[in-house]
Structure 1
Amino acid sequence: MHFLLLGATGRTGKHVVSGLLSQDHTAVALVRASGSLAPRPGLTIVTGSPLSKDDIRRALFAAPSLLPSAAIITLNTVRESDSPFGARLSPPRFLADSCANACEVLEEASIPRVIVMSTAGIGDSWGKLPWLSRAFMGWTNIKYALEDHGLVDKEIRLTKMDWTLVRAVRLEFKDTDDPKTEVKTLGSSGDGMRVSDSVTVTSVARFLIQAAVEGLFIKEAVVVRD
């Protein structure tokens, strides 16, 4: 299969790239900075912004004779640092507008499938978050990312596409992965979430690919943890 990737240079996105190529899929990645992603066989790189529909269109048709079967979006808001208190650098609706743009362009091209990485705490999963997690998110600048992911949740439901929202619990940025270990899915609301829950970026990337390739959780949101 051939995929359009938005967010391929991020800490989860880079594992999506590696996972797809290792399974002999191909991909085109729209990246904001030239040189931010190393060229690899099977990977086409286009420089542009997900806030530009024209840039997304260029990416769609960038690989000769290949049209994506689906898009995988792993964009996140950008902060001044990795600290949860780091100032937000992205526009307030960066994720929502990027997602809306991508869906519009994909629908124009009759591409029906999009998988979007989200976060636990969005929509009906907010009430199932442990109170300590809710307090932390509300107290730090993570709240701005949460707001934007919430807007993505609303935008995606306005499309006619076969969408999937993957709501990851707290991310662990480990590069190790056991492909035999499957993530646990907790439904849309995240029933049974614990404050100690986490999921590695490699696990999330593997699940995003699986959902895209196998057509899992169509028009559903799903909370995942290791």
Structure 2
Amino acid sequence: MHFLLLGATGRTGRHVVSQLLAQGHTAVALVRVSGSLAPRSGLTVVTGSPLSKTDIQSALSAAPSLTPFAAIITLNTVRKSDSPFAPQVSAPRFLADSCANVCEVLEDAGVLRIVVMSTAGAGDSWPNLPWLSRVFMGSTNIKYALEDHNIVDSEIRKTKMDWTLVRASRLRFEEQDETSMTMKTTDIKILDSVGFGMRISDSIHIGQVAGFLIKVAIEGLYIKRAIVIKN
């Protein structure tokens, strides 16, 4: 299958690229910075912005003989550093406007499947997020990313897309074998949209998230649903 990827240069997005190609699929990735992702067999890289519909259209036509089966979005907002207190760099609606543009372009092209990486605490899962997590997210600049995810959560439901929102628990980034992470998608615990049963200790490795996003896209799982995932 062929995929459109946004956020492919991020820590989770790079796992999505590696696992897709390892499974024999092809992809076109729209990246904002030229040279940030090296082309390889099965991967076409297009430089542009998800805030530009023209750039998204260019990505769709970059591999003329291939039409995307689905889009996988792993975009996130950007702060000046990884510190949760670092100033926000991204525009307030970066995620929401990017997602809206992708949905519009894909719908015009007749491609309706889209899987979006979100975060535990977004939408109706907020009340069930452990109180300490809510305090942390609400008192740091992470709150701006959460607000953007919330807008995506609200607006994508108004589209005609066959969307899935995957609300990941706290992400882990330690080095792991890619094949091991792919296999361990069976260890993922899936909660409904409200995330009843979330705990402060919940986490999930980015490699597992990547494998799960691919599985959901390919198998047509959880269409028009939001789910919380943890390990």
Residue 215 of structure 1: aligned partner? 220
Contact kept, 8 Å, 1:119 with 1:166, in 2: the verdict is yes
> Structure 1: how far apart are the matches of 2:114 and 2:223?
9
Q: Secondary structure at the match of 1:114?
A: strand
Distance 2:18 2:194 in 1: 30
Q: Are 2:190 and 1:190 aligned? A: no
Alpha-carbon separation, structure 2, partners of 1:64 and 1:53: 18
Partner of 2:165: 165
After superposition, the CA RMSD in angstroms is 0.8
How many aligned positions are there?
A: 226
Structure 1 alignment gaps of length 5 or more? none
Whether the aligned pair in 2 keeps the contact of 1:80 and 1:86 (CA below 8 Å) is yes
Alpha-carbon separation, structure 2, partners of 1:191 and 1:209: 24
Partner of 2:13: 13
CA distance in 1, matches of 2:154, 2:124: 12
Distance 2:40 2:196 in 1: 40
Any unmatched runs of 5+ in structure 2?
none
1:38 is displaced (CA, Å) by: 1.2
Percent identity, aligned pairs only?
A: 71
2:210 to 205, 213, 221: 205
Counterpart position of 1:74: 74
Q: How far did 1:224 drift? A: 0.4
Question: Map of 1:26-41 to 2, 5 A cutoff?
Answer: 26-41=26-41
Shift of 1:124: 1.0
Structure 2 CA distance for aligned equivalents of residues 44 and 195 of structure 1:
39
**TM-score, reference length from structure 2:** 0.96
More helix by share: 2
- 1:140 counterpart = 2:140: yes
Aligned-pair CA distance for 1:15: 0.3
